[in-house]
Amino acid sequence: MVSHIVEEAKKSPNSLIAMSTHGRSGIARWLMGSVTDRVLNSTKNPMLIVRGNHEGDPEPDADLKTIVVPVDGSPLAESVIPHVTALAKALDLKVTLLRVVPTVEEFSSHTDYQRLDGVVGLHFKTSEDMAKEAADKALVYLKELENTLRKEGVALVDHRLVRGGAANIIIDIAQETPDNLVAMTTHGRSGPARWTLGSVADRVVRHSGDPVLVVRTG
């Protein structure tokens, strides 16, 4: 089955693969079905993954209201924007641009600037300064991207800037935002390695209970 899906998708590279997957609630959260997982790791096509209900439960009508779009300032992350713009305009959806920045503690743990503070004649930025500078730049970026989407005809756009670990923040915000779709990009490799999902996208796809649109780049 997997090979047939992948081969059929190859005939139309611009087509979208839409699949559902089973899952469990609670601690286990979302465990992808084997077929969906294998297709996800084998295709270059954009893929929409929707979590199915437990067997026997009625399927509710889809009522999407918001697209949550994680961005990090890179062209890779922005590759999903054209897809998001088209969906938002066609379905009259709100777009929430999400930027996750490191905490002060994360800056401190990844640099040795703090150890050098106070050395005579040398002046280094503190972790607090670095974190604030990163947040300020990220906010400017979000506002610029928000304005770009408005110019493209997306009526409802807002942004959120949050400190913390990217994957956990994306999952938490997706779960607290009702009736949403998460749209994000991931990098991959071709050939024998096929598609190796980026670590953040992989965790969001596997552990978010919301529909996820994954667009592969590279």
pLDDT digits (tens, 9 = 90+) for 70-126: 998 888 889 899 999 999 999 999 999 999 988 877 767 665 554 445 555 555 567
Distance of alpha carbon 157 from alpha carbon 149, whole angstroms: 7
User: Domains of the chain, with CATH numbers?
Assistant: 2-54+62-217 (3.40.50.12370)
Distance of alpha carbon 64 from alpha carbon 70, whole angstroms: 17
Contacts of 194 (CB under 8 A, 6+ apart): 41, 42, 188
Q: Extract the residue ranges of the chain whose pLDDT is less than 50.
A: 24-31, 56, 58, 114-116, 189-197
Cα 56 versus chain centre, distance: 30
